[in-house]
Amino acid sequence: MNRRDGLRDPEQISAPFMGRTQELTEIATFLRCDQSVSIVGPPRSGKTALLWHLMRSTTWPGLGLDGDNLFVYQDCEALGAITPTVIFGRFLRGMAKALAERSLPMEAMLETASAQPTRLAFEAAVRKLNQRRLRVVLILDAFDQLSGNPHLDVSFYNVLRSIAGRYQLVFLTASVRPLIELTYASQREDIVSSPFFNIFASCFLESQTLKKVLTT
């Protein structure tokens, strides 16, 4: 596990996961339809645990998912104050790590691109993986941190939106507040206008404590 790089290995998490069947089914349905998803819930509502469980290969058959999805995990707590170039480098390293975890052949360009990351390198990596019939599911956990990054402007988000529109790439974000609230919280009209924030379906999680009280 490497928190500094925002990369984690869900297969190494031994804690059992219980519940959230309805939410997992809903998220999987959206992913099968190439729909990006925003998971929203209060602190300690189990957002990260749900993401880890979704990334486990043993979970996929029951949700109608298969090996064509390449889950690339990023903990955005590590992305809150770095430049777009460094962020694209983290995405590229995440792709390489996801391939290695699946014991899939490595893309030669990923090592070079990670050393000299650019928007074009990230786009080329997505295209290469698509050519191998792998759809990239880019998971952005703690997205609140990324949305507050002062180094990011509307062009960064528009790049993400453009690549998702042209290639087999979907986003799966997890945040405490809905995306629309995060964009307005930035108090930057240019970011609010980005079409990136309009491509998500929302999945709301209530806290596990509240759920227990309501069902007893």
Q: From CA 62, how far away is CA 70, in angstroms rounded?
A: 17
Q: What is the DSSP letter of 158?
A: H
Q: 12-26, 69-83, 85-99: lowest mean pLDDT where?
A: 12-26
Query: Mean of the pLDDT values across residues 67-76?
Result: 95
User: What CATH code is carried by the domain that includes residue 53?
Assistant: 3.40.50.300
Which residue in 113, 118, 171 sits closest to 147, CA to CA?
171
Q: 209 lies in a domain? A: no
Number of domains in the chain: 1
- The residue to which tokens 């391939």 are assigned: 99
Q: 34 lies in a domain? A: yes
Q: From CA 180, how far away is CA 211, in angstroms rounded?
A: 25
The alpha carbon of residue 70 and the mean position of all alpha carbons in its chain are separated, in whole angstroms, by 11
Q: How confident is the model at residue 20 (pLDDT cuts 50, 70, 90)?
A: confident
Nearest-10 Cα torsion for 173, 98, 151, 41: 20
> Is it the case that residue 11 has pLDDT exceeding 60?
no
The alpha carbon of residue 91 and the mean position of all alpha carbons in its chain are separated, in whole angstroms, by 10
Q: Give me the amino acid identity at 93.
A: R
Burial class (CB in 10 A: 0-12, 13-18, 19+), 18: exposed
> Is it the case that residue 1 has pLDDT exceeding 80?
no
- The residue to which tokens 């108090």 are assigned: 187
Q: 7 lies in a domain? A: no
> Is it the case that residue 23 has pLDDT exceeding 50?
yes
Contact residues for 137 (Cβ-Cβ < 8 A; gap 6+) = 31, 69, 70, 71, 72, 169, 170, 171, 172
Higher-pLDDT residue of 13 and 173 is: 173
Q: 153 lies in a domain? A: yes
What range defines the domain where residue 42 resides?
19-183
Q: 216 lies in a domain? A: no
SS3 52: helix
Q: 143 lies in a domain? A: yes
Q: 4 lies in a domain? A: no
Q: 51 lies in a domain? A: yes
> How many contiguous H segments (helices) and E segments (strands) does the chain have?
11, 5
